């Protein structure tokens, strides 16, 4: 390849003088990038005179890159655009207020309040008419009768407060997630060459003309044209829907597109289109990512589990042509949404149904009683002038009914979930967990199994060569270079320096006396370190053989498990250096170097001896063994594509043992996992002996245990039938005992994870977390319930497939995530225990009171204060409890464990019994006890009574003290333990108490309260504190003895899922419940979804990660890029959540 740097370099300085005068326009480059393979090559060669000339036009050097001059970079941004895709405009505060107003229960309340207001101003003629029944108690209380409007106004006022609180919560949440989103975007960097230096540049700062270094595992941040490539294969399924990897080369197809994944190889490209002008940007513009889609709420684009993006190819009437491809496409298993969300939705629906029934019954009984009492017993005629008064009564009854509904529906629940998750996510950032998908946070609390990678997660990923076998001698320490003959030393140095990615380097330490920094692939860095230890300079060799001179490169991938590089010998012929897993390379060797550096025959028997005497002892010390070999081609040039022919008849130079020490904190973390009932399995590509040694050091394997360690081959033999299909029954016999899976391929990892998740053996279904860092881990990360990607060593593909990114690549952070996850689960259970006690009591009091005294002892505004305002604060208090180590001392809940355990049910019913007893005694005998006037059967518009104020006050204080009881849900005795650590909880309880004093003393007519004396206050307080004592009594009753207690809030069973989820890509429990019974106000409950909706922004990861995920449109647009032409076919597909309608037939595509 010619090196045009001398001709192009001056362009860097030229760029400033000629005002943005580049040799091509944005539109020309856009059109060029829409072409594929041959068409693109022709266009580049004919129109631009080749890639080198295109670089000259863009004023950049293919070797040195841009100069990095700020003025030049700014000009490029002005001419060619920034490398960002503008996000959707965030919702304004008013829009969020409008959304909060859509809550059906609030709408009903608003209507009732407005009717009540209107009627209160209407003074009908028949008001004084005896025949209309009692209206006001005493004539002198005329001013009170005038104040009938206050209740309606108070209800409206409390609705406004609720709406503002909700909107503010949504707004701050959206802001928080945008901040998090920006953080993820800033963290995504890419390797760019500027001024001849390779630097890591944030993706947003890349400009047209930059030279980017592309390697295995990258997610391309912009469109570009290949300048130099080694065995480059790209997964373009995100744009084309084709699952086959596309080979990229200078002479066949040099076009690289943003949003696609590098699956193999490496290379350099010149960036030609960024941001909205890149192929991904164009599609996003087509999908209207910048517009506000009305339909976004109505239909969420379902994501397929195994497919990276949501733009699927059009399988319309051209289905016949596509059938072949469909067979190739992976059969995507259904992925459930979050475990917790499913349980919550089911529970909310059940509670809602009960509440609706109770409220309808209340209204019906009140109206019936009123009608019978007035028109049957008292035999009053229905007079026209009395109608408005009767309507006022009916409206009052209706408001009481709505109030019962308001109290029954757990309004604070979505808020508790959101606060708990958002709070945890923020705190988890400090524990090195960057959460990409909110629900992963709580799913982690249910995890029963972790499938972990070895390198980098359990080990330090700081590799060093500690043993070597060269020339028939096994060196236990690194020998001095004098031991070897010069020609052997040359072979070792060249075999390592040339046959490794040129991006792998060893840099001087950052601090004095520190360890040298390893940049790039850690195994290659260990080998380069070995060269340095032999007092040789690898960089000198690389300078002599620059990357352009490499004739052919077979890059490392998970199938080959080796890497080979071919160079042309100066004397003619070719030499190929290979390195890879020792047992794989040795199988391909037929000669080996002896002490004199001569190649001697290497037979099968010699190989077996060597494996037994050299490789196994190294592996048993926990070392990874790598073999270095070479082969000379002196005759005619072979066919390089015939890989099997090329990679044979090698000559072994050396075998080295690389140590990767176990992280010091890992054994403790794994012990904690075992204590918490979580099984840790190691899945690695390493030799089985190495894997077993490391697993024993970590504590995954303990001596004397009956556990399995398998190699990938053996594993497949045991789980597949004669046809080669995986059988779940066979897999079920293996996975419970399996602890180490060695020499495993990505498919094995995916098979294992899927098998464990789908398994139904054992008393509970498994929830699996997976850690991974390589591109090959993508499928398993995506399949897992929670995927952890490594933030430092992880490739973009792995991060894209993950739910949580470990910013420090450390296994202990996973244990922290488990702790936080369990804490979220417990926080929500605590809040449920509190909320349901309030609901049960309030509903029964309102219902019984209405039926017996024709009026609810707790008025609408009071109920709103208790239910909406107080619960909001309670959710804040209970959802922000910090986690403790004790969370790791119990078993995981698993998938089918109900949200409300029998212990919680005992607490809920026990406290409800105490509260109901107290309230009914106060309602029906309170006036005698306190020696005050009775508040029962008060006529319309009568002033508030002390009697009912005491009932309300006692009720609220009992809730307040029960909130302290709710801090414990597993039957613990000490409810105050650690209370001082949660400042929010203390301030909420205190704040609510102060508010209650103000409401009772100064609330007056709007809150139907009148001030109380000190002795009455003390009695209320005394009864409230009784809750704490009663709580001790309840916790003393063993749950086992109460056989009648049932659990509630179960997860969905597997049978229900499969039955209900026909034709769905992703199972959404909320939608399934909707289909079971279309309940009008259920949308109010569905606020769980709405409030977690912000995460849609968040799920996209970074600006280019999963960049096509933002397809939330009313119409799903199926987009297919046609490789050979320059247009995009868009077909609207109107699909319901349950059925998929064939897409509109697209124009004939021509050959693909």
Catalytically annotated residues: 453
What lies within 8 Å, CB to CB, of 146 at 6+ separation is none
Q: What is the DSSP string of 926-976?
A: HHHHHT----TT--TTPPP-HHHHHHHHHHHHHHHHHHHHTT--S--S-TT
Q: Are 564 and 577 in contact (CB under 8 A)?
A: yes
Q: Are 419 and 762 in contact (CB under 8 A)?
A: no
Q: Are 228 and 270 in contact (CB under 8 A)?
A: no
Q: Are 580 and 562 in contact (CB under 8 A)?
A: yes
Q: Are 583 and 615 in contact (CB under 8 A)?
A: yes
Question: Rounded to an integer, what distance in angstroms lies between the CA atom of residue 300 and that of residue 1092?
Answer: 13
Q: How long a stretch of residues is the chain?
A: 1152
DSSP 8-state code for residue 614: I
The sign one gets for the Cα dihedral 405, 408, 412, 416 is negative
Question: Rounded to an integer, what distance in angstroms lies between the CA atom of residue 345 and that of residue 169?
Answer: 20
What lies within 8 Å, CB to CB, of 110 at 6+ separation is 156, 159
Grouping H, G, I as helix, E, B as strand and the rest as coil, residue 678 is coil
DSSP 8-state code for residue 83: S
Q: Are 916 and 841 in contact (CB under 8 A)?
A: yes
Question: Rounded to an integer, what distance in angstroms lies between the CA atom of residue 138 and that of residue 125?
Answer: 18
Q: Are 231 and 264 in contact (CB under 8 A)?
A: yes
Q: Are 1129 and 239 in contact (CB under 8 A)?
A: no
Q: Are 777 and 453 in contact (CB under 8 A)?
A: yes
Question: Rounded to an integer, what distance in angstroms lies between the CA atom of residue 808 and that of residue 456?
Answer: 10
Q: Are 615 and 640 in contact (CB under 8 A)?
A: no
Grouping H, G, I as helix, E, B as strand and the rest as coil, residue 471 is coil
Q: In whole angstroms, how far apart are CA 599 and each of 566, 577, 596, 930?
A: 20, 15, 9, 107
Q: In whole angstroms, how far apart are CA 531 and each of 246, 466, 491, 540, 631?
A: 36, 12, 11, 12, 20
Q: What is the DSSP string of 488-544?
A: HHHHHHHHHHTSS-TT-EEE--SSTT-PPEEES-HHHHHHHHHHHHTT--HHHHHHH
Question: Rounded to an integer, what distance in angstroms lies between the CA atom of residue 357 and that of residue 354?
Answer: 5
Question: Strand pairing partners for 280?
Answer: none
Burial label for 642, CB within 10 Å (0-12, 13-18, 19+), is exposed
Phi, psi of 938 (to 5 degrees): -75, 140
What lies within 8 Å, CB to CB, of 527 at 6+ separation is 465, 496, 500, 579, 626, 628, 656, 658
Phi, psi of 745 (to 5 degrees): -95, 165
Please tell me the chain's helix, strand, coil percentages from 3-state DSSP, rounded to the nearest 5.
50, 15, 35
């Amino acid at each position: 390849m010619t090196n045009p740097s001398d001709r192009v370099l001056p362009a860097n300085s030229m760029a400033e003088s000629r005002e943005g005068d580049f040799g091509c326009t944005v539109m020309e480059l856009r059109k060029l990038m829409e072409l594929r393979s041959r068409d693109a090559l022709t266009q580049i060669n004919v129109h631009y005179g080749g890639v080198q000339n295109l670089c000259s036009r863009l004023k950049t050097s293919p070797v040195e890159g841009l100069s990095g001059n700020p003025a030049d970079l700014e000009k490029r941004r002005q001419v060619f655009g920034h490398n960002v895709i503008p996000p959707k405009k965030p919702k304004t505060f008013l829009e969020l207020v409008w959304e909060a107003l859509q809550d059906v229960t609030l709408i009903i309340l608003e209507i009732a309040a407005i009717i009540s207001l209107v009627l209160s101003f209407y003074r009908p003629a028949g008001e004084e008419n005896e025949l209309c029944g009692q209206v006001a108690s005493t004539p002198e209380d005329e001013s009170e009768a005038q104040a009938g409007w206050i209740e309606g106004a108070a209800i409206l006022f409390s609705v406004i407060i609720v709406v503002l609180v909700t909107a503010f919560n949504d707004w701050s949440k959206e802001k928080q997630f945008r901040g998090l989103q920006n953080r993820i975007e800033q963290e995504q960097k890419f390797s760019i060459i500027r001024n001849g230096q390779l630097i890591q540049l944030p993706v947003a700062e890349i400009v047209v003309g930059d030279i980017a270094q592309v390697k295995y595992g990258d997610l391309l941040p912009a469109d570009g044209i290949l300048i130099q490539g080694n065995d480059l294969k790209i997964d373009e399924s995100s744009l084309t829907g084709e699952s086959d990897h596309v080979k990229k080369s200078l002479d066949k197809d040099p076009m690289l597109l943003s949003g696609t994944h590098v699956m193999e190889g490496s290379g350099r490209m010149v960036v030609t289109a960024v941001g909205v002008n890149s192929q991904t940007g164009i599609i996003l513009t087509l999908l209207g990512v910048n517009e506000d889609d009305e339909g976004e709420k109505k239909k969420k684009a379902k994501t397929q589990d195994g497919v990276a993006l949501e733009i699927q190819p059009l399988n319309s009437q051209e289905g016949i042509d596509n059938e072949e491809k469909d067979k190739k496409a992976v059969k995507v298993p259904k992925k459930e949404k979050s475990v917790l969300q499913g349980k919550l939705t089911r529970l909310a629906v059940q509670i809602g149904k009960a509440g609706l029934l109770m409220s309808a019954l209340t209204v019906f009984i009140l109206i019936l009683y009123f009608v019978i009492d007035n028109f049957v017993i008292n035999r009053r005629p229905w007079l026209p002038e009395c109608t408005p008064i009767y309507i006022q009564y009916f409206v009052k009854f209706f408001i009481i009914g709505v109030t019962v509904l308001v109290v029954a529906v757990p309004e604070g629940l979505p808020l508790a979930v959101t606060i708990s998750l958002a709070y945890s996510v923020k705190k988890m950032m400090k524990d090195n967990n960057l959460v990409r998908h909110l629900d992963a946070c709580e799913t982690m609390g249910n995890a029963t199994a972790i499938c972990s990678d070895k390198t980098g997660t359990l080990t330090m990923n700081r590799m060093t060569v500690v043993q070597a076998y060269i020339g028939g001698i096994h060196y236990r320490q690194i020998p001095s270079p004098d031991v070897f003959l010069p020609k052997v030393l040359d072979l070792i140095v060249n075999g390592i320096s040339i046959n490794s990615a040129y991006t792998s380097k060893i840099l001087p330490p950052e601090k004095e006396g520190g360890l040298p920094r390893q940049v790039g692939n850690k195994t290659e860095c260990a080998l380069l370190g070995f060269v340095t230890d032999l007092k040789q300079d690898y960089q000198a060799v690389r300078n002599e053989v620059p990357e352009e001179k490499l004739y052919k490169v077979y890059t490392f991938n998970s199938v080959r498990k080796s890497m080979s590089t071919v160079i042309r010998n100066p004397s003619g012929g070719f030499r190929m250096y290979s390195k890879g897993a020792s047992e794989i390379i040795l199988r391909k060797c037929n000669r080996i170097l002896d002490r004199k550096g001569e190649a001697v025959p290497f037979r099968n028997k010699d190989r077996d001896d060597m494996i037994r005497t050299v490789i196994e002892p190294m592996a048993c010390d926990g070392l990874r063994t790598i073999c270095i070999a070479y082969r000379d081609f002196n005759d005619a040039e072979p066919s390089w594509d015939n890989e099997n022919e090329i990679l044979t008849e090698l000559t072994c130079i050396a075998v080295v043992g690389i140590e990767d020490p176990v992280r010091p904190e890992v054994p403790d973390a794994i012990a904690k996992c075992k204590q918490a009932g979580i099984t840790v399995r190691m899945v690695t590509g390493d030799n089985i002996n190495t894997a077993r040694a490391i697993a024993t050091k970590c504590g995954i394997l303990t001596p004397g245990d009956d556990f399995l360690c398998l190699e990938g081959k053996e594993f497949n033999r045991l789980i597949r039938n004669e046809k080669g299909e995986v059988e779940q029954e066979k897999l079920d016999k293996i996975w419970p005992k399996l602890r180490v899976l060695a020499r495993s391929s990505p498919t094995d990892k995916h098979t294992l994870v899927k098998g464990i998740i789908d398994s139904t053996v054992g008393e509970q279904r498994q929830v699996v977390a997976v850690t991974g860092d390589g591109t090959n881990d993508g499928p398993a990360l995506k399949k897992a319930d929670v995927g952890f990607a490594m933030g430092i060593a992880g490739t973009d593909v792995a991060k894209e497939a993950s739910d949580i990114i470990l910013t420090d690549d450390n296994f202990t952070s996973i244990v922290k995530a488990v702790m936080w996850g369990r804490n979220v689960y417990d926080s929500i259970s605590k809040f449920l225990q509190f909320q349901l006690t309030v609901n049960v009591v309030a509903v029964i009091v309102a219902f019984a009171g209405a039926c017996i005294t024709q009026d609810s002892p707790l008025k609408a505004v009071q109920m709103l204060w208790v239910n909406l305002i107080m619960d909001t604060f309670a959710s804040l208090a209970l959802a922000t409890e910090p986690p403790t180590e004790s969370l790791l001392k119990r078993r995981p809940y698993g998938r089918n464990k109900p949200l409300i355990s029998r212990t919680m049910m005992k607490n809920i019913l026990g406290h409800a019994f105490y509260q109901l007893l107290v309230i009914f005694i106060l309602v029906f005998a309170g006036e005698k006890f306190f020696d005050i006037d009775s508040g029962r059967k008060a006529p319309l518009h009568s002033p508030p009574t002390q009697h009912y104020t005491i009932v309300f006050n006692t009720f609220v204080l009992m809730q307040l003290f029960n909130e302290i009881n709710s801090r414990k849900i597993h039957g613990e005795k000490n409810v105050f333990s650690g209370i001082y650590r949660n400042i929010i909880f203390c301030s909420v309880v205190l704040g609510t108490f102060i508010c209650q004093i103000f409401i009772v003393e100064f609330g007056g007519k709007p809150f139907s309260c009148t001030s109380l004396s000190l002795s009455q206050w003390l009695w209320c307080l005394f009864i409230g504190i009784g809750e704490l004592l009663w709580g001790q009594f309840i916790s003393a009753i063993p749950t086992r003895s109460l056989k009648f207690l049932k659990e509630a809030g179960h997860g969905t069973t597997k049978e229900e899922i499969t039955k209900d989820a026909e034709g769905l890509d992703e199972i959404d429990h909320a939608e399934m419940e909707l289909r079971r019974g279309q309940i009008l106000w259920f949308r109010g409950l569905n606020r769980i979804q709405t409030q977690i909706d912000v995460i849609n922004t968040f799920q996209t990861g970074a600006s280019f990660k999963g960049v096509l995920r933002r397809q939330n449109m009313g119409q799903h647009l199926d987009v297919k890029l046609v490789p050979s032409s320059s247009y995009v076919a868009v077909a609207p597909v109107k699909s319901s959540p349950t059925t998929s309608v064939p897409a509109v037939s697209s124009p004939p595509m021509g050959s693909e």
